Structure 1
Amino acid sequence: MKGEQIPYKMLSQDAYSSWLGIEILECEIGRCKVGMTIRKEMLNSMNKAHGGISYSLADTAFGFAANTHGKYAVSIETSINHIEALDEGDYLTAESVIENVKNKLGFNIIEVKRREELVALFKGVVYRTQKDWEQ
């Protein structure tokens, strides 16, 4: 399977990302950009998006990009800084670029944006297994 096709297969098998409404906007080897719209059922008690929403979007971009290199890759440590509060109807994007595949660990910073505004900064460490993605 070509690497840039892997995120589409992953999304088709990912009930959570599908429920979130995540769509793949751009994808190539080592890079994936995803987007989604915040819905009412994603809001917390302060009528703002739950922090897990932007976290999940960034985590999905991170996982998709990491797997484009053709090996199963899983996150082993992640964290996020929430910079701006988010509202129902906001459209968010997250782009992950993972170029260096010289060892089993990969490090990445993903920017979550509302249009051009940076709203969250996600950091992740990925572990690359030896298992290949198959057809």
Structure 2
Amino acid sequence: MTPKERAEKSAAAMWADDNASQWAGFEITSVDEGTATLEMSVEKHHCNGHGICHGGVTFMLADSAFAFACNSRNQATVAQHNIVSYLAPGRLGDRLRAEATELSLTGRSGIYDVKVTNQSGTVIAEFRGMSRAIKGQLFEE
């Protein structure tokens, strides 16, 4: 099995039980070893009292991309620590894209950066996630 095939099979296994990402309207558009891209369209129910995409929704999109990237090797992995910086608002009708990239993987610990942009390429948020591998796999190999 190639690394990309493993990443795609891992993503499919995770997605099958990822009710939160499905409920939020996220879509996996790309996955490979140590990387993942998810997208969503900002709808009315994603917007806060200021009429912009709720920061928690933006965070959730970035966190989900991070999760698919750090689980791409079929090793069960969870978030240990995350930080986010909001740089611009997402707006109703925007198409947001979260691209997660692995920066480091040493033993059971990983570091990932996620950039959230809109359809014009404007950076909405920068997210850094630290992961920790735990026992188990997403599928039998």
For the criterion TM > 0.5, the same-fold answer is yes
| Contact 2:103–2:111 (8 Å) recurs in 1 | no
Aligned length: 135
Deviations 1:50-91 (A, max 9, x none): 101110000000000100111000001111111101111110
- Matched with 1:94 is 98
Match of 2:43 in 1: 39
**Does residue 113 of structure 1 match 2:117?**
yes
- Could you say which residue in structure 2 is the equivalent of 1:75? 79
Question: What 5-or-longer segments of structure 1 have no aligned partner?
Answer: none
Answer whether contact 2:88 2:124 (CA < 8 A) is retained. Answer: yes
Distance 1:95 1:27 in 2: 10
Superposed displacement of residue 30, structure 1: 1.3
Amino acid at match of 1:101: L
State the 1:13 CA deviation: 1.0
- The counterpart of 2:9, out of the listed 5, 8, 18, is 5
Q: Which residue of 1 aligns with 2:56?
A: 52
Aligned to 1:123: 128
Question: 2:18 is matched with which residue?
Answer: 14
Asked if the contact 2:102/2:113 (under 8 Å) is kept, the reply is: no
CA contact under 8 A between 1:82 and 1:121: conserved in structure 2? Answer: yes
Q: Give me the identity figure in percent.
A: 25
AA paired with 2:122? Answer: E
8 Å contact from structure 1 (residues 31, 98) kept in 2: yes
Does residue 123 of structure 2 align to residue 132 of structure 1? no
Q: CA RMSD in A?
A: 1.5
- Report what 1:64 is aligned to: 68
